Every structure is written in structure tokens, then in C-alpha cells.
A and B are shown apart, each in its own frame.
Chain A
């Protein structure tokens, strides 16, 4: 008994003792360690687990006693005297598939036995040194709250400026004060044609029409611009352009992508919901709540309930590895992707790191990750197999629309879903075969096949209840377990569902244990007291109008993001945004009517020397047209743009893997509506989108890449789309200028495409080019004008907004 007590006391004291004074080992113990254990550790382990070499994979060092005693991410590596409880022994035994060491191959049996014996002996280890793996102190959430983005939004007052005549609004005062402090003078105001083109594209993604340009130039009233802005804000095209900005954040797509790429037939309903919501100026708190938990909200009408369900498509668009055999990992991966989207998109934080370990830079502990993960793993995003009860690929969750919608969808799924999927695939294949058939006999056979499957498929389609891509709460919502190193099969401690503690505020909602917790998550995100939400969204709006955000890393407000260039301005705008009811249109209106927005984009050497990155916004940032703006504008110049809203173009596509062989068919589906209404098929993006920096639809994107690469020039020079549009534009130009006077033709083409008159230099260059194209003396053909239009479409005055 005495001995036992002494041993217990020694064990309790052991950590303190080792730090100061390495235990003196019995000679036999020391001999065993030096003879059998140390060489083995050196040979097989220390390459990755050595504090001295600063290689501590999984946080574990094995070159000191403290190293294994403190252990790594999964706790102490050795429990002295208990081989069966020691992770190190388990790992070398290769017992657990998720933790086998060394990774390159199992140790020899006698080596394993040596380690087992050593642990059983009590793991005698003479190696001291403070070099034990440094255990992370853990995330200090309270200290983390001192970081600017986690502090409550302040209430700054607009500063006093020296040049009181310059500012037009409060935002201008913040900007000018910063410029004055740095000795920078704002640029001159942009000319009116430039400003009209800028604001029209920024608000609607479309060029001003010649009539709109003429009207604006003729209107000399002081509120001429305000009238234009109000017209643009009221236009349906505003929602199309700004809805598209949100779709980038929501990684919207019309197919799953990844390794198995079936179409999302109902995705377009979400897309149109977004456009409509932006046009209706639905307050951002409601906009977000509907997307996270619309199905859990009370609704006054069936229409409202359906819209709320459609909105939850936001959680559904992740590009999933539907064929993952390991379904527990698939479920965790789905949640991880959702958290990545919610984190970056709504909170400006990268949460993914915390799946495997406490966030290294931001105050997000693994606990908080799994608190959020529990909410989403209590939400069903996936359904069973997509086809044939035995198939590998998972289906995704759908919700019914209309009265009794969910029940109808469930009934359809039980009775007809597999047969419907099969009929759709058969019909699609039969149609393709019919199109390929070369002999009359083959054609007749194929046509009969098509007719058969058409009939079968139509019968199922008739039974198909209206539905949306939407999740539902799991039958038994539950808290999630921490997964050691993020591995699904290594469950740890259970964490109650909740939110990020670093952004917690008094009186925040608590998860209703009977539900997933999405509703409370939505309320927590969309709360005026959440320090991140309004800042992130206001910053994004600012970035769309000024070219860069006040925080340039728009999806990272953490410690590794960029600090705000104008922190008070950001808080001022965020506060006003929330107080004004989270409304987008008044914010946009205020910003585009600011003096700063209307500045010219011209370079200034003196300012550039002081502020080369234009962080002070002493000039407007020139930007290239987005992929959508480019395509829409080319169609507009050709006179073929269809400005009506679109619905779906992919209803007939079967739920099958869309691949290379479908590319040609998919290309035929596009119509001349705006690009936002064209299907976004992952892995098979339209060329114009792929080449011109469209947001990667498989990940949440707050700021699109901005590249200048040769494939863009090749597209503009050689794609049939631009060539064809140039031909159509030419016909419009020559129709408008029957005299075919070269200068008049150049002016008309330039006005049609660039929305302004050419400068004298531009006119001279283009007239010279045009007349050089004539094949005979003085005869201008439509083909010559097409070449002219093509050059203008490719050149920078059209490609860029000054």
C-alpha cells in the first residue's frame, strides 16, 4: 500500500519532475532504452517527430520524454506501463486503420515487441530537454475578441475635413480625411459619358443604350445622376447583376461537378429567388435567414413557405463526392464544405482549418467547429442512392413545393424515383443515338426507341411533384463529436451545438435541441450584434463599386486577412446599414452618388508615389468587364440580346454524369438571354466564362480572379461568338449610316459598342484601319465594317470601364 501510494505520488509529480530534473534510470532500464528503443525511434520516427528538427507531425515529438508525455493532437503518445492504452503502441501495431505508424510500412515484429516491452516497463527515458513538442496553449477565445473584426461595430462620426467643399456625403468625408492626412489629392471628376457607362454597368451589368446616353448628356439638372441611379435601381437588371454577385458567394451551379456530375434540375429556382430578392430589396438579415433556415421559418402563405424552402438551396450547392464509398466521411465532407461556405461567405472566416486542429491563426477552436458542424450534421443534405438501390452515388435532398409538397415528394421517391431516373437516362441516350444514326434502318429503330422512352418518361414526369433542391432537419438532431484530426472514424468528445465563441454576444439564441439549430444559427448570423455579418456584407458591396474592399481580403476578416484601409468608414457604413434595415439599394445609391465614386480613373504620378495601390481611393479603379458583362454586351451590340428573364434550360437533362460527350449538346442549350440565366454546368463551363475569370462555381468566391492572359485575346480574336456578333453589329451600323462615310461609320460603331464617341485619336486609327480593308477603291462592304466592329469589341476601350 505504501508502495502504491508512493508510486501514485511519483506519477502525479512526474511532469513537474521531468521538466526540472530528468529521472535517473536504473542501469538495466537505461540499457534497454539505449539498446533497443532509441535506435528504433531514430530510424523510424524522428524524421517526422523531432522537436530538435522542428518536425512535429500531428504535434508529436518523440525525441524527448516530454515530447511523448505531452503528446500530439490526439493526446499523450505513451501511457507508461499500459501498452494497450498507448497510442504509440497501437499505431505501430497497425491496428487502427486511421493511425498506422510508421506510414511507410509496418515495423518488424521484434521491433514492435521492443516498444511494447519498453512501455510495459514504464517507458524509462533519460532524454530530457525543454524541446518537447510545444503543446499549443489552446485557443484563447477571450483574447481573440480584442481583434478588430470581433469587436462590436463602433459608432464613428464622420471626420471634419479641410476641404469642406469636396465631399458630397459622409463616405467622402472619411475618404478625404485619410487623403488629407497623407497629402494626397483626389483626382478630377470623371466625364459624364464615362460616369454613365460606369454606373450603368456597375448597377445592371449592361451598357447604357444610345438613348439613355443622349438623355443623360442632355439633362443638365443637378440631380441628373440621381435620376439615372434611381432608374437603374428600379430596373430588373439590377437584381440580375447583384444577384449574380451573391451567386458567386453561394457557389451556385446547375450541376454537382466533382467526380459525378448530374444536373441540379431545380437549381434555377434558387437563382431566380436570389434575383427577385435583390430586386425586392429583401433585407439582408432576412435574406440570410431564409437561406440557412427558410424551411424552419413561419410562413403566412404557401407561396412564402415555398420561397423560403427554395432559398435553402444555398446549403445544397456544394460540389459533393457523391460516389464516396465511405459514407461517414462523405457526410462530414458535406458539412465541411457547408461550413467553409458559411464561414467565408457570411462571416468572413476560414473555418475549415478547425476541422482537424484548433485554428492556428484565428480564435476558432476545434470545439467551435464541431459545435457548428453538429447543426449541419443534424441537417439532411443527402438522400440515399440516386439510382438502383445498389448504386454508389448518393442523391441529394429535395423538398416539395405547394400544399403537401414534402409528402408528395416522399411518395414519388418511394414509388417512382429510380424508374424515373432510368427513363430519363434511356430517353436521353436514345435521342443521342437517333441523332447519330446513319442508315435509315438504324434511324427508324432509334426513333422507335425514343418514342418508347418518351412515353415512359412523360408518365413519370407527369407524376413528378414540384420540388426544390433543399435540405431538411434530420429525424434525430444530435450534437456532433469532435473528430480527431478531422477523420470521420476517429470520434472524440461530444460538443453541444452552438456558434463561434469569439463572435458571441449577450442574449444570443440557444439551439433548440429538438431541431437542427439552423434557425438559431441564422438568427445568430443575422443579428445586429454579430460583429462580422454586416461588416462582411457592406465590405462586399463596397468592393463591387470601388474595385477593392475596405478589407481587401473580402472573405477573410481574420488575423491573416488584410486590415481595413478605412476602419471607421467600414463601421460607419455597417452600422447605418443595420439601422436602415439591412437594405442594399439605399447603400448602393449612397455610394454611387458619392464624390469618390465619380472620380476619374486617370493615373497621377504624385499620388501614386505616396499610395501606389490606391488604398486611399484617390482615383476610381479601372476594371475589366466581367465574363457576363462581356457576353451580354457583345450580344447587345449584335442586337440579339434577349432581356427577358429566364427559367430553366436543362429540364430535359437526365440525372446522369455529364461529361465530355455532353458538351456539344449543352452548348446548344444556351439562348440569347443574359448570361446569369444560362446554366452553369460544372466541369463544362462555357468558354467565355472559363476564359474571363468567372467565379469558380465549386467554391465560394468573394473576389473573382483578375487575370490578363493570352487565351482571352485568342477568344476575342478567334471565337465564332465574337466573329458572328461583329457581323451582326456591322449590319446595324451600316443600316444606321447609309452614306457609308468612313468617319460616320466609325463613330456609329464606336457609339454602339463603347457607348461614347471616339476620341480624335481613336477615330483616326479606326478610319485608317477601315479604309485599308476595302478590297476595291472606295467600296465599303459589310464585311469590312464587321472587321471594324470586331476590332472595337476586342480593344481595351470596350473591354474596360474607366
Chain B
């Protein structure tokens, strides 16, 4: 395995070595086994989606509504704010050829269920958002560790020399902030590049410092040229220095990004039909629709890992009956559109879509917020995967009859990570990075690939 510095040293001098470094170094590590997926789109449902109101159908809840839970609460520190069993009020039906249960709040997702793989016995650690969000994104909450996307970028590199390998859309500063897309101790080239779109003015994609409204394009080219000339004079004086070489190359790459990225970020290049499919231009789907469409465009342009923050609106402690339909309506159509759109473009086969929140919610009501809601629940919940080498139209894993605790075919967060890496051709036990004298892994000492869902 070559270090970045060695790479720069051995790469041909001059322009291009920076872009090259990430790719070639990754090629050295690539593929522990044949990959099913080349790229990942991770739709992060921030706040924690109620499994009982979405995909984990539990008829027992209707029967037991208003009764006390027949077993002890699993390890919650705040039992005082939890009440009785609380049944979802939505209609449920089986959908698709596979007959997956979906609540009426997700009519669009219902149409693509034959492409989805539901994991219904997922569990994690951490009953507070921050811990669970950090664990979902980095596998760890107490220490700074590289995020999943950074590991993937480190493992596989980018597919496009002019764009970063890992992009995150609309990640905020809360619940760990940049740690959720941080490279930590991995080389900085593997850090997630933040792009704002849903949270940007006019919902026009923004990359920090990408635009120069100070100089015309021609003038900026002259400026980049003179910076390069000064660098080359410096390099000549120095004899040889990979750092200077890299610095000169970084300006070339920056300039190319500045030239190329706006085209990728420009959603107006898509047809009106596609905009409609994603729910762009209508509410409440416009924001998430744009995010999902941009994610697809970035993937097409060669980005390995795109993670999309839905916005922190799933945290329905109070008033789940009002909040849940709203959150579902914002995300259902765009997420389903993404799956359908990837499929019709032939991209779903090698693109893995992961739809997940940081935890699920309780089947008993939370009673301290006026209208009834549901509290955090890391003990059992549902996520779905699509494409990229996972079976479609299946459900794997179960919670108990109340939907509270994963009891069968459980999938821990570390297992989910191991599975994502596996689909990308990476062995989670072999993808390591030596830091402070230790070989670190995304899954630490844990993780099992969920082999049952591999296509």
C-alpha cells in the first residue's frame, strides 16, 4: 500500500498528480472480492423513523392499544415519560409481487417494494440522537473515527478525477456535525465534501469557495497560470519536492472542479418529467427531491458515496399523528423516484441505496408533550436497502409482536456497515488503516455481513 506521499513522489511530476493520488492509491487496495455495488447513496432519515408507522406491520398494536406493555421497557433511562401501547392509525396493505407490508403513509415507496430489501431487526447503541447518529455514520460515538463514506473513498477512490469521491448533501453541525462525514485520521482527500442544496438560498447547489464572482473566467485562468509559474520556479529552485508538486497540481484540480462541477450540480439539465418524478417544484417534496436527484447526478459523474441528510424532522416525540404523515410526505416520493430512476437508467444494479435513520421509535406513547408521540428506540427498527447486489422484495429480521425489540435475524449497526462494505467488494476486517500504532476498522472488532440478503 502506498502512502499519499510516496504516491506523489513516484507519480510523474506536475499537473494531475493530486487527482491521481486518491485513485491510484485506492487501486492498490481495491476489491477484496468481486464487488456488486460501485457506489452508494445513503438517504439519512435524521431524527429516527417510527418503524411501526412505516414498514414494520404489527397488528398486535391495534389489539393492545391503551394497554400497558406486557414486558419491561428495555433499558430506557426515562420510563417516566412513556405511557401505554399506542397503535398507528394508518391503513396497511401488502404491495408488489413480493407482498411487502407498507403503511398508507408511503404510497410511492409501496410501488417500488419489489426492489427493496427491508431489514426489520436492526438495532444500535445509544438512546440519544448524537450517539446514534455518530454510530450510524462512523461506528463510534466517544472517539473521532472516519465516517463510512471516508472508508469507502479510502478503499475505492473516486471514479472521476475532477470530483471528490465522497459528497454529503445538507449535513448540519448538530449531532456530531462534521464528524458524520469526517475522514478523522484517514488522508484528508477522503473527507466528505459538503454541498448545500435543500438549505441553500433558492435551493441552488452550493460548494464552498467554488465560485469566483471576483474575476472573469479568463482573468482567473491567468491568475491560476501565474500561480503555477511561481510554483514551477520554486520547484526548479528546490530541485524536487512532492509537496510543491502537489500544491501546483491542487490549483489545476481546483480550477477543473470549478469548471466541471457546476455542470454536474445543475439540475436544470434534467427533463421536466424527471423533475416531476422526484417531486421537484411541488411541496412538500421539492427539497428532498432536489437532494435525491443531485445524488443521482453526482453518482453518475463518478462520486463513490453520496450521503443525503433528510433534514431533522423525524423526531416525533409529540404529535406523531401529525408529524409522521408530514415527514413521510416530504420524503416518500423522492426516495421512491430515486430507486425507480436508477433502475430505468440501468444504474440500480451497481448502485446501493441505503435508507436509514439513527434509530427507531417506541411502540408505547410518549406522554409528556401534549399530543402523543413516540420516544427513541435503538433496540429494534427498520431500514431498507435497494440495488447494488441486495435481494429485492424481501424482508429480513423481525421485532417482537409490539415492534419494540429486534428478536430474529438481528442486524446491528456494525453489521450494516460490514454489509455495505461487502457489497462494494471490501472486507470489513481487511479494510484497515494504521493510526497511532493500531490498525483501525470501520467495524472496530465487530460486524457480520448479512449474507442472507445478498442477491
Contact = CB atoms under 8 A, between A and B. Distances in A.
Given A105-B407, A772-B222, A259 B208 contact: no
B231 interface: yes
A326 B378 CA distance: 13
B131 A603 contact: no
A321 B130 CA distance: 7
Interface residues of A, number: 97
B161 to A, nearest CB: 11
Contact of B173 (A560, A663, A698): A663
B184 A556 contact: no
Contact of A687 (B141, B208, B250, B409): B208
Contact of B231 (A558, A684, A705, A796): A796
Nearest to B17: A708
B249 to A, nearest CB: 8
Nearest to B214: A723
Nearest to A602: B239
B254 A683 contact: no
B209 A324 contact: no
Interface string A577-611: 00000000000000000000000011111001000
Contact of B212 (A47, A556, A604, A718): A718
B73 interface: no
Contacts of A560: 434, 437-438
B261 to A, nearest CB: 10
A186 to B, nearest CB: 15
A660 interface: yes
B455 interface: no
A337 B230 CA distance: 45
Interface string A748-765: 000000000001011001
Given A787-B219, A791-B226, A791-B230, A714 B210 contact: yes
A251 to B, nearest CB: 10
Contact of B144 (A660, A693, A698): A698
Contact of A259 (B141, B143, B237): B141
Interface string A712-738: 111101110001000000000000000
B370 to A, nearest CB: 17
Interface stretch (B105-113, B240-248, B285-293, B386-394): B240-248
B176 A259 contact: yes
Interface in B377-433: 406-412
Interface residues of B, number: 90
B179 A325 contact: no
Interface in B204-260: 208-212, 214-215, 219-220, 222-224, 226-227, 229-231, 233-241, 243-244, 246-251, 253-255, 257-258
Interface in A743-800: 759, 761-762, 765-766, 769, 772-773, 787, 790-792, 794-797, 799-800
A794 B188 contact: no
Contact of B250 (A612, A657, A682, A710): A710
A717 B251 contact: yes
A326 B77 CA distance: 7
B141 A603 contact: no
B243 to A, nearest CB: 6
B247 A708 contact: yes
Contacts of B237: 602, 759
B128 interface: yes
A674 B294 CA distance: 40
A513 interface: no
A790 B224 CA distance: 11
Nearest to B250: A713
B97 interface: no
Contact of B142 (A327, A337, A683, A690): A337
Contacts of B164: 710
Contacts of B238: 601-603, 622, 802
A717 B251 CA distance: 9
Closest 10 CB pairs of A and B: A259-B130, A603-B239, A683-B177, A560-B437, A708-B246, A713-B254, A660-B172, A707-B188, A795-B230, A325-B77
Interface of B: 4, 8-9, 18, 75-78, 121, 126-131, 133-134, 141-144, 164, 172-179, 182, 184-185, 187-189, 193, 199, 208-212, 214-215, 219-220, 222-224, 226-227, 229-231, 233-241, 243-244, 246-251, 253-255, 257-258, 406-412, 434, 436-438, 445, 448
Given A337-B142, A709-B189, A759-B237, 8 more contacts: A325-B128, A622-B244, A707-B189, A710-B254, A713-B254, A714-B254, A765-B226, A797-B234
11 contacts: A106-B407, A261-B173, A319-B144, A321-B142, A361-B437, A601-B241, A708-B8, A713-B247, A713-B255, A794-B227, A796-B231
Interface of A: 47-48, 57, 97, 103-106, 257-261, 319, 321, 323-327, 333, 336-337, 340, 344, 350, 352-353, 361-362, 392, 553, 555-556, 558-561, 601-605, 608, 612, 622, 624, 657-660, 662-663, 682-685, 687, 690, 693, 696, 698-699, 705-715, 717-719, 723, 759, 761-762, 765-766, 769, 772-773, 787, 790-792, 794-797, 799-800, 802
